[in-house]
Structure 1
Amino acid sequence: MSNSNAVANGLAGAGGGIIAQIITYPLQTVNTRQQTERIAKKGSSHPPKRPAPPPASSALLQILQVIKTEGWGGLYSGLKPSLFGTAASQGIYYYFYQVFKNKAEAIAVARKHKGRGDGTVGMFSWLLVAALAGSLNVLLTNPIWVLVTRMQTHTQAERKIMEGKKEALMRESSESPTGSTLPEKLAELDSIKPRPYGTWHAACEVYSEAGVTGFWKGIIPTLIMVCNPSIQFMIYESSLKHLRGKRAASKQGLKTVSALEVFLLGALAKLGATVSTYPLLVVKSRLQAKQEIGGNISLRYSGTIDAIIKMIRYEGLPGFYKGMSTKIVQSVFAASVLFMLKEELVKVYTVLAVKSQKLLSNVIN
């Protein structure tokens, strides 16, 4: 029954994750671009030579800007591998989460029989369960998210590379004037419009830059970020347990939790986890995006420590919180939808499983 429970949670997590991903994907694309945008702080010792353009004042304006310059495809660049990654991540995570949760609950019951504890899983155990499931998920699915990040930020990176080429042409022209060829060359560069590229192209680019290890770029901050779902599920499970306990203690004796309440608990849990771990998410996105941007060493990172040092040096602490408001809206809403759908899908799966067992027993008898 425990394995069946794990499978139900795995399938429900995958299904809910896919739906939540489709709904919030444009916000995710804009947020990834915000995270990977490099803007030097005032007084930086080695600021980028190219002045960064001012970002749009809101996520909505940025979405409209992407639609105007790249079409709807720009907002949904990387959607296919992202959906596959979401299904794989949620399925793997919820399956192993339920497996470890069942073991943790069994250990808690065994401890109660020995006179230790009250038979319930403690907060530290919830953290450990979520961390183990998250670590396995990260190690297995990181290559998918490297490709998704590349595809989401490809047009942004290409645009900056193009700006670098324009600057190089203008410098060459000032050093050795070439007449009317400069405007023609600049017009030629302007005519090249970057467009989202495919999964295979992204995979080839990653492999050509760093080989097989390139698919595990950002693995260190991603593994550290396992604490995000750990914190999220600690808040969620503790709140759910408290709410169910209050319902059980009430005169009505109702233990069921409504879909709206699960939605709100999911939002609260994700909000707390996102705010506390957002800087790691920015570092991960920077590492997974194309590094050769504008030919400036301050924009390229050789690893996690190098990224952190350069971000502090050139951008300051605000660099670690770029796009956080967009991320909060996207992740909180996605997590709320996911939790709500997952609980409902598990109920449907359980009802169908019970009915199929009854039907099978009737046929046998």
Structure 2
Amino acid sequence: MSTEDRASQQNVGEIVHALSGAGAGVLSLSVTYPLLTISTKLQSEDKNKDAQIEQKKSAKEIIKSIYAKDGLLGYYAGLESAVYGIAVTNFVYYYFYELAANSIKRVRANNQLNTLQSMATGAVAGSITAIVSNPIWIANTRMTVTKSQESTLSTIIKIIQKDGPMTLFNGLKPALILVLNPVIQYTVFEQLKNIILALQKKKNQKEVLSPLWAFVLGALGKLIATGATYPYLTLKTRLHLAGHDNVNKKSAEAGQRSEEKVTMISEALKIIKKDGVSGFYSGISYKLVQSILNAAFLFFFKEGLVMWSVRLISEMRSVISMKNKMLKIQAVKK
């Protein structure tokens, strides 16, 4: 890649990063979705207290039961809403992440973010994304667990009609807490990326992160982030199902805030009472594999798509420039 291309990649617009992130998210999720289905079902199960042996047996039973009932397609239950959800989530996240990052870089006149700046950028982008995408993930969780064949939109409408519009924001508080996940992930990624680029500069190599390096760094970032935040993932999944499982409707006068707070606490206490602390880590092996692979492929595809977009834009500019020159020459001849 030329120096001009490298400069273009650093200065490429937020929309290009957002579209690349959305496309990469769809591709990576499609590859790893069966593991997400298994993990979601494990998280939503009410387990007995028989520790690890029961948990492993339960995981095998879930895998077998999905195949027995629905065949291979059963592992892709809810894929349509998940693809829609990840496309929206990644588009919003990468747009605001790049917008915030570029704003900081312009102020600092520096092309790299330090640790605190990476964390602040991730927190802003993650918070906005959590609020926008929560209804889609509510629908996805319902569709995955109930094996619904309905569309995402019809599932959302049904949830509103049956349980009320606020149900679409069940689990929003833990989702906002889970902003820590991408904050940790992208901070680790950005700082490791800075190290790699600095080493490449010393060796007089091109200062662009290759898709392969992005794959490795993305996996490392997600490993650390998922291990730290998995208990909240479990709690979030349980809360997404709360409106579906609890037909009990409280008085409309009860304050929404206190009701949500009680729900979070009661779900956490229920998990501890039935399964102990290990209940928060139900299905973590599958989630770790899925999350790490998904993140690795996400960064791999995104960096590849950004590089491809930069080259395409560069080629288009060259063609347009050549055409303009030709038109000017023709105009002079006339």
Q: TM-score, normalised by structure 1?
A: 0.76
Q: Which amino acid aligns with 2:230?
A: Y
Residue 269 of structure 1, CA deviation = 0.4
Give, in whole Å, the separation in 1 of the partners of 2:111 and 2:67: 54
List per-residue Cα deviations over 1:116-163 (Å, max 9, x = no partner). Answer: xx87422011001011011111111110000000011115xxxxxxxx
Asked if the contact 1:26/1:63 (under 8 Å) is kept, the reply is no
Aligned counterpart in structure 1 of residue 278 of structure 2, from 280, 293, 318: 318
Segments of structure 1 that go 5 or more residues without pairing to the other structure are 43-52, 110-117, 156-194
2:28 maps to 20
1:105 maps to 105
Aligned counterpart in structure 2 of residue 226 of structure 1, from 175, 179, 188: 179
Give, in whole Å, the separation in 2 of the partners of 1:41 and 1:289: 21
List per-residue Cα deviations over 1:42-80 (Å, max 9, x = no partner). Answer: 7xxxxxxxxxx9555385764343111223332211111
Asked if the contact 1:154/1:196 (under 8 Å) is kept, the reply is no
Greater alpha carbon shift after TM alignment, 60-69 vs 341-350: 60-69
Please tell me whether residue 34 in structure 1 is matched to residue 42 in structure 2.
yes
Aligned counterpart in structure 1 of residue 227 of structure 2, from 235, 251, 275: 275
List per-residue Cα deviations over 1:285-326 (Å, max 9, x = no partner). Answer: 001125565999xxxx96222211222233211111001110
Aligned sequence identity (%): 31
Give, in whole Å, the separation in 2 of the partners of 1:122 and 1:294: 45
Residue 205 of structure 1, CA deviation = 4.3
Q: Which amino acid aligns with 2:36?
A: Q
Asked if the contact 1:35/1:286 (under 8 Å) is kept, the reply is yes
2:87 maps to 87
Give, in whole Å, the separation in 1 of the partners of 2:157 and 2:68: 29
Residue 360 of structure 1, CA deviation = 1.3
Asked if the contact 2:160/2:168 (under 8 Å) is kept, the reply is yes
Closer, same or farther in 2 for the Cα pair 1:60/1:94, shift >3 Å?
farther
List per-residue Cα deviations over 1:217-275 (Å, max 9, x = no partner). Answer: 1000001100100000000000000011011112x444233322211111000000000
1:166 maps to none
Give, in whole Å, the separation in 1 of the partners of 2:172 and 2:246: 25
Segments of structure 2 that go 5 or more residues without pairing to the other structure are 1-7, 249-259, 326-334
Aligned counterpart in structure 2 of residue 153 of structure 1, from 129, 145, 157: 145
Residue 364 of structure 1, CA deviation = 1.9
The alignment yields a C-alpha RMSD, in angstroms, of 2.6
Please list every run of at least 4 consecutive aligned residues from structure 1 whose deviation after the TM superposition is greater than 4 angstroms.
Answer: 1-4, 53-56, 58-61, 195-198, 290-296
How many pairs align?
303
Radius of gyration: which is bigger? 1
1:288 maps to 240
Closer, same or farther in 2 for the Cα pair 1:293/1:54, shift >3 Å?
farther
Give, in whole Å, the separation in 2 of the partners of 1:242 and 1:58: 42
Residue 207 of structure 1, CA deviation = 2.0
Partner SS state of residue 121, structure 1:
coil
